[in-house]
Structures are given as C-alpha cells and as structure tokens.
Chain A
Amino acid sequence: MGYDRYSVFSLLRESLRGHAGWGPAWRDAAPRPAYDVVIVGGGGHGLSTAYYLASQHGITNVAVVERGYIGSGNVGRNTTIIRSNYLLPGNIPFYEHSLKLWEGLEQDINYNAMVSQRGVLNLFHTDAQRDAYARRGNAMRLHGIDAELLDRAAVRRMLPYADFDNARFPIHGGLLQRRGGTVRHDAVAWGYARAADRRGVDVIQHCEVTGITVENGRAVGLQTTRGTIRAKKVGLACAGNSSRVAAMAGLRLPIESHVLQAFVSEGIKPLIDCVVTYGAGHFYISQSDKGGLVFGGDIDGYNSYAWRGNLPTVEDVCEGGMALMPIIGRVRITRSWGGLMDMSMDGSPIIDRTPIEGLYLNCGWCYGGFKATPASGWCFAHLIAQDAPYPVAAALRLDRFATGRLVDEKGVGAQPNLH
C-alpha cells in the first residue's frame, strides 16, 4: 500500500509511472472491540485530536468514529480562513497557538495543505470602528501577534477596486494581520486522517454513534451502528450535532445548532490576493487558487439541522459584497451550501471535561472552527491524555456559564444567533 512519506521523489516516481502507485492515504479501518481513547466525530477537530494523541502523548490505541465519510462535514464546507485576530485574553493565546501550528503543519503531517499566509484585512468604516480595531490590534500586539492598522491610502493600494467613497459606508482603513490567510480545507481533513492513521489510529467511517455507555458515572464505551466499542476515555468532537450526542449521556449543553451558508463563484482571473472582511455588514471573501471567489456572511439566525439555508441570507450576503466591491457584481455564483454550527452561549468554544468521568467535550465552535483545527486537537488531546487543560485553552471551560467567567468577544450575551 502506497507511500509512507510523500516527497519530491515519490512525486517524480509516480509522475513517471502514471500515478498508479499512490495507494489509499489511510486504511479503511473496521472497529475493534476496545480502545484506550475513542473520538466521536471524524471532522478536522476529531482527526487532529487523534493525531496529537498519537504524536504528542504516545497514545496510539485510538479510534475516530465518523457517521459519514472523512471530509463530509464542516471541515469540507467552510471558507478556509485562518487568523488569530481576537480581542479577549481567553481567546488570543489559543488562536495564536493554532496559527503557529498551521505554520508548521505541512512538514509535521507530511501533507500539502496549501497553507497560504496571504493576509487577513478587516475594513473599518467609521471613527468608532477604527478605535475598536486599534484596540483589537493593540491587544494582539501585546500578545506578540502581528497586527497593522492601515489608513485609507494603504488599503487602496491593496484593494484598488473597493468602493472607498460609498455614501453610507466609506472605507477609512483596515486592520491587517499578514500571517492570516487560507488553507485548503479538504487537505486538512485528509492530511490529519493520513497522519493519524500512520501512527496507528483507526479512522472508522460510516459508523454512527447511537449511545454512550455510562457505568457508575463513568463513560466506558459507545454503541454504534457497527457494534459496541469499549473505551477507557471518550472524546466528543461533534460540532453541530454536539447537543444530540451529549444527550446520549444525559447532558444538556449551552449550545444551539444554526445553519451557516457559504458561496463560491465561477473561476475568474486573480483579483483578490488576501482575505477581506467588510466592516459595515457581515461579509468576508477570498479567492481560491482555482480562481473562484469564496465568500460568506451571517448565519441564518434560527435553530436548524437542515444543512441548507434560506434565500434572505443569500441576498444579505450578496448585498454586503456589492456594497464593498461592486466589481464582482456580474460574477456568477456556482455553488452554495449550508453547514451546522454549534453556536455557544458566549460565542467561544468549550474544551473541557464533563460531569461524567472519562467523557470529554469539544464543541461550541460557532462559525469559526476551521482556523482552530490544529489547536483544538492539540488542546483536546492534552486534556484527554493528561486530565488537565492545556494552558492556552484553560479559559474555555464548560462551567464558565455557571460561574460567570464568560469569554464573549462580541458582548451580546446568551443569544447564540447574534454571536
């Protein structure tokens, strides 16, 4: 089967042999009766958790069970943006840890994830917004993260085609994080799956969890559509389905599931060489290497498990795009899709133990889980292996809602559809 390591030599060799010898990137594992750790959810976070359990903590008797196939969930349905431009002390070190892991990811997992640090530019349109972004940039720099406050002229050099003199929302400048950018999302799932598999992790697809076995207050295994699996520890990384899976263990979570839509246009010549976010509405856009404009906006705003959204949100997103850069007005949208977001009550994630011994929880990623993929797995693996939080994720506790130690970037309170 295939190559143990991908390299320029394997690429040359396969180029000359018609690419017939690559082999599968990971085994199609069947569940064994027992593991040390089972991760529920084969998305980016579940796979990276399994990988770091194996690579950082030497725990290789691990399974990842996935209801669908690898890459079928949010890891393959997002707008691929990575950044660490947060404001609050509970969030900044965590997302910066993630960005640092992105920077070394491809060498670490031996997989081309097309990490592209093309810069993330957040535009501002009022004096108050400039102050808010200056404050955010200062908070980042105090944590040793790069941030530059650009004036109007500097933004114009980057985005000559933007509507600077919009009557209602003129562009005054922007906050730029040059180390932010985009990553090929599918490759993240495939790369982590392959790297975990190489270290002995069983990546089990088409295996839906139907129950969590709890004995004497301790999680000891799972019931699945492919039989019972015993586990010393169980980690839940189920994104939009977190509430449903946690309910199998009798837990209620501070989570609502919402639908977020994203869009890709037809391919056009290179136009946007960074990630741009509009400050007067909710709209963010970048251009993929194939040429398609990849963009999105708000969540639809109501509880949903439907994997599709409604047209008023499409209209709202496109209005945001037109207000920012009218140049894209005649580009046709070729695809749009919806994914399930585990919206938490303060807009920040949860990586913590649960009241049930041996059951660990990773959820609440709202619509910003992709950029967190490496750090989420890193910190979740540390928590599962050491039974103690990794320092940069120490604020992301499950009990912070009961104790009032919220991490609320937007300050809108317990209203998940507004985060």
Chain B
Amino acid sequence: MRIPCPHCGERGFQEFAYYGDAGPKRPAHGGDTGEDVWFDYVYLRDNPAGPHEELWYHAAGCRTWLVVTRNTLTHEVAGARPARDVALERSAAP
C-alpha cells in the first residue's frame, strides 16, 4: 500500500502509523454528555467492508495526521487529506 501524502507525495505505508476509523467525532467534554455517547465514541465501530475513512500519522515523514480513504476489501487507497482540513470542514458543517 502506498499513501499519497499531500506534503511528501506518494510514500510506502510503513512510514505511517495507523490510528483507526476517522468517523467517530469526540463528544464535547463535560456538560451533560451522557456515558452512552462516550461509549459509542470510544468503543463502537462501523467496521465496513469497502471504502473506509481512516486516520494515519506520517511518523517518518512530515508528521501530519491524514484522513486516508482506503478500500478495506482491496487495500486500494483513493486519496489522503490533512486531518486538520477535514476537522475544520466538519466543525463548519451544521
């Protein structure tokens, strides 16, 4: 597998560290966030067979967190974007 890093170009995946599904959004800290919301965030995963948005860290490169779209059935990598951009987009969305 090779991951197209937006900063470093296409690199072998062994330069990266895998974190997991990029889907779960960390709930707001404190307030009245229920335990079930935290349970859902920490433990439950869709675990799809097919396209999967996931977090990889370019540890041996630019040290940027990336959201990589990869097919779990074929290992085909469709693209990678800085996780920061994805997070900003998400928080801007209603």
Residues on A lying within 8 angstroms of B by beta carbon are: 241, 243-244, 247, 252-257, 301-306, 310, 312, 345, 401-402, 414-417
Does B20 lie within 8 Å of A417, measured CB to CB?
Answer: yes
* Interface contact A302-B73, CB-CB below 8 Å: no
Is A305 within 8 A of B49, CB to CB? yes
Q: List 17 A-B contacts (CB under 8 A).
A: A244-B47, A247-B46, A252-B44, A254-B43, A254-B44, A256-B21, A303-B21, A303-B47, A303-B54, A303-B72, A304-B72, A305-B49, A306-B74, A306-B75, A345-B42, A414-B43, A417-B20
Closest to A343 in B: B47
**Could you tell me the distance in whole angstroms from the C-beta of B71 to the nearest C-beta in chain A?**
9
A303-B72, A312-B12, A417-B20 given; A253·B39 CB < 8 A: no
Residues of chain B contacted by A257 (CB below 8 angstroms): 47, 49, 72
Chain B interface (Cβ < 8 Å from any Cβ of A) = 1, 12-14, 18, 20-21, 35-36, 39, 42-49, 52, 54, 70, 72-75
Known: A252-B45, A254-B43. A306 touches B73 (CB 8 A): yes
B54: nearest chain-A partner, CB-CB: A303
- Other A-B pairs, 11, CB within 8 Å; known A306-B73, A310-B13: A254-B44, A256-B20, A257-B47, A257-B72, A303-B20, A303-B72, A305-B49, A305-B72, A312-B13, A417-B18, A417-B20
Q: Is the interface of A mostly helix, strand, loop or mixed?
A: mixed
Complex contacts, B45 vs chain A, CB 8 Å: 243, 252-256
How many angstroms between the C-alpha atoms of A250 and B91 in the bound complex?
A: 28
* A-B pairs with lowest CB-CB distance, top 3: A243-B47, A254-B43, A305-B49
CA distance A306 to B35 in the complex (A): 34
Q: A256-B20, A303-B72 known; A243 and B42 CB under 8 Å?
A: no
B interface SS class: mixed
Q: Which residues of B contact A305 (CB under 8 A)?
A: 49, 72-73
Most buried by A among B36, B46, B47, B74: B47
User: Is B47 in contact with A302, judged by CB distance below 8 angstroms?
Assistant: no
- Bound: A136/B73 CA distance, A: 38
- Counting chain A CB atoms within 10 Å of each CB, which of B12, B48, B49, B73 scores highest? B49
Nearest-neighbour CB distance to chain B for A210, whole angstroms, equals: 14
* Contacting residue for B75 out of A254, A255, A310, A345, CB 8 A: A310
Residues of B within 8 A of A252 (CB): 44-46
| A302 CA to B39 CA, complexed, in Å | 22
The residues of B that contact A402 with a CB separation of less than 8 Å are 35-36, 39, 43
Q: Are B1 and A310 in contact (CB under 8 A)?
A: yes
A243 pairs with B46, CB closer than 8 A = yes
Check B20 against A416 for contact (C-beta < 8 Å): yes
Q: A residues within 8 A CB of B12?
A: 312
Give bound CA distance, A255 to B75, whole Å.
19
Residues in A neighbouring B43, C-beta threshold 8 A: 254, 345, 401-402, 414
> Which chain A positions have C-beta within 8 A of B75?
304, 306, 310
Query: Which A residues are in CB contact (< 8 Å) with B21?
Result: 256, 303
Closest to B47 in A: A243
- Bound-state Cα–Cα, A60 to B35, Å: 42
How far, in whole Å, are A414 and B39 apart by their CA atoms in the complex?
A: 11
Give every chain A residue within 8 A of B42 (Cβ-Cβ): 345, 401, 414
Cα(A402)–Cα(B42), bound, Å: 10
Q: Which chain B residues lie closer than 8 Å to A415 at the CB level?
A: 20
Bound complex: CA A414 to CA B52 (Å): 19
What separation, in Å, do the CA atoms of A247 and B44 have in the docked complex?
12
CA distance A414 to B40 in the complex (A): 12
A232 to B36, CA, bound (A): 30
Q: Beyond A255-B45, A312-B13, is A303–B52 a contact (Cβ under 8 Å)? A: yes
Distance between B4 CB and nearest chain A CB, rounded to angstroms: 16
Q: How far is the CA of A233 from the CA of B47 in the complex (A)?
A: 25
User: What distance in Å separates the Cβ of B70 from its nearest Cβ neighbour in chain A?
Assistant: 8
Assuming A243-B46, A256-B47, is B72 touching A306 (CB within 8 A)? yes
